[in-house]
Amino acid sequence: KQQLESTSDILKQLTGQLNQATQALQQTETRLEALKDKRSRIEQKQTDGEALRTQTQALLNETRLVDPERAVYFGILDKARSEVLGGQALTVESCDNREREMRDWLQKQIESESRKLSTLGERIVKAMTSYKEAFRLETSEIDASIEAAFEYRTMLHNLQSDDLPRFEARFKELLNENTIREVANFQSQLARERETIKER
């Protein structure tokens, strides 16, 4: 009976050890599966990253920019990236989202600059129209449009090269002198006429 009890104790110990070993094996197999899954995801990320790098390199090669131009544009983009994204780190996983954020920001900048250019264009055309109305003879064959800006520039250059501002100043000076002289003559004429009227 003692031998049977001893065998029963050994059997209980062995059963306990077997259960522990089975649990440890299951945990190890679970960890192994998790690690295999993680490795598979990492390999997929690596493959995706490599494909993305190849696409990016192909795009860079298509742009046909020489290295100094690339450096300039990349510098501008890097500055914009730090402005838009702040200190957010770029990772393979976040590239698409960061690209979308950059694209949205750039699109807003482009639209803002387009509005400014449109407003400026309208102001320039209004100024051209006013100039055309003021100087109809000189501008009869010129359009009031942005495309005709070179013609207005040519007129300005011609006026400046003819030293028109100096002549304009001299004209005003002579006009003032003549006006003063004419007013004085008119007053003396009025005084003479007054005397003539008084005598009659």
The residue type at 9: D
Can you give the pLDDT at residue 120? 94
Tokens 């803002």 locate to 112
Can you give the pLDDT at residue 39? 96
Q: What distance lies between CA 153 and its chain's CA centroid? A: 29
Residue 165: which pLDDT band, with cuts at 50, 70 and 90? Answer: low
* DSSP letter for each residue of 47-60: HHHHHHHHHHHHHH
pLDDT top residue among 64 and 32: 32
Give residue-wise pLDDT tens across range 20-32. Answer: 999 999 999 999 9
Size (the chain), residues: 200
Residue 144, CA distances (Å) to 136, 147, 149, 165, 169 in order:
12, 8, 8, 24, 28
Least confident of 67-76, 93-102, 149-158: 67-76
Share of the chain above pLDDT 70, in %: 94
Can you give the pLDDT at residue 175? 78
> Domain coordinates of the chain in residue numbers?
1-64, 163-200
Q: Could you say which DSSP state residue 18 is in? A: H
Least confident of 35-49, 155-169, 186-200: 155-169
Residue 65: which pLDDT band, with cuts at 50, 70 and 90? Answer: low
Can you give the pLDDT at residue 1? 61
